[in-house]
Amino acid sequence: MGTLWHNVVAVLVAALLQSVAVTGNFQLEVQVVRVRDSVDDCGWWPEVCDLYIDEMCLDPQFEEPGSEEEDQDCSLIEYENNLDLESGLPKTRTLSVTNQPWPVDFHLRIEVMDIDTFNNDDHIEDVVVSESLNTSSEFSEEMDYRNTPNGRITLSMRFRVRCSGEYEGPHCDCLPHNDGHYSCREDGGISCLPGYTNTSNLCRQQDYCVGEVCPSEETCVSNPTSYT
Ligand SMILES: *[C@@H]1O[C@H](CO)[C@@H](O)[C@H](O)[C@H]1NC(C)=O
Ligand SMILES: *[C@@H]1O[C@H](CO)[C@@H](O)[C@H](O)[C@H]1NC(C)=O
């Protein structure tokens, strides 16, 4: 019983340490290339289809609108500057997120509004994007996003996600040389710099046999503080 209890505590402490250690910085660029509105064709009375995007909500978890588990609490970012879709596309909005790793699989909820002259601005619908996207210097292919079956708005969009600050790696959560001696690998792991060992210790362990310290490599055995 005592051992079980210890294990439970150890697991909880490990989970807590891990959640505290979560970090990362990234920027997601959302570019709206074209917009189609299946109700208003904008030809007859331009004011009626003056569209803009109000809120964008980035979340790795939330469920499709209308589903039972629907959770739209924007765990990563909620961005509320109007993005005008009426005057010239493409338009790009940059979502900057700090202290969070890039989730790769993400959901983006985009609130499309209609400015009209008859009453208050109308909320038309939320277009939801569920994508998997790797960090890249290139924008993704342009794709059409429309809520099925009865979505009114089609947004043609492309995305780009890049790490910001010093962060690197597929989740933008690796800081090279952060309190250790390593570089970040493409697959998310780390590689020790020459002269350092032990990735599970963030390469803090010096390998005293590398470099000119040791008289002969064949006889050199590195131990934690020196060589013999
Ligand atoms: C992201 O990168 C991984 C590993 O390189 C690859 O397997 C995967 O297909 C990529 N996903 C996308 C959406 O490009
Ligand atoms: C590497 O570091 C880990 C974590 O500090 C430690 O438990 C382990 O003993 C080290 N391995 C070696 C070979 O020194």
Ligand 2 pocket test, pick from 190, 199, 200, 205 with the greatest ligand atom count within 8 Å of Cβ, gives: 200
Q: Is the pLDDT of residue 7 over 80?
A: no
Q: Is the pLDDT of residue 19 over 60?
A: no
* pLDDT tens string 84-132: 887 778 999 999 999 889 999 998 989 998 876 666 778 888 898 999 9
For strands 83-84 and 50-59, give the pairing. antiparallel
Is the CATH number 3.40.50.720 carried by domain 25-163? no
Mean pLDDT of 206-219: 63
Q: Is the CB of 134 under 6 A from ligand 1?
A: yes
Q: Is the pLDDT of residue 43 over 60?
A: no
pLDDT bracket for residue 11 (50, 70, 90): low
Q: 105-109, 124-128, 207-211, 223-227: lowest mean pLDDT where?
A: 223-227
User: Whose alpha carbon is nearest atom 5 of ligand 1?
Assistant: 187
C-alpha 104 – ligand 1 centre gap (Å): 9
Delimiting residues of CATH 2.60.40.3510 domain(s) in the chain: 25-163
C-alpha 171 – ligand 1 centre gap (Å): 12
Residues 6+ apart with CB under 8 A from 203: 180, 181, 182, 190, 192, 193, 196, 197
Q: Is the pLDDT of residue 18 over 50?
A: no
Q: Is the CB of 136 under 6 A from ligand 1?
A: no
User: Whose alpha carbon is nearest atom 10 of ligand 1?
Assistant: 134
pLDDT bracket for residue 150 (50, 70, 90): confident
Q: Are 118 and 50 in contact (CB under 8 A)?
A: no
- For residue 161, the number of C-alpha atoms closer than 13 Å in the C-beta half-sphere is 23
pLDDT bracket for residue 17 (50, 70, 90): very low
User: Whose alpha carbon is nearest atom 3 of ligand 1?
Assistant: 134
Mean pLDDT of 3-10: 59
Q: What is the pTM of this model?
A: 0.74
In this prediction, residue 201 carries a pLDDT of: 85
From the number of C-beta atoms within 10 Å of its C-beta (0-12, 13-18, 19+), residue 29 rates as: middle
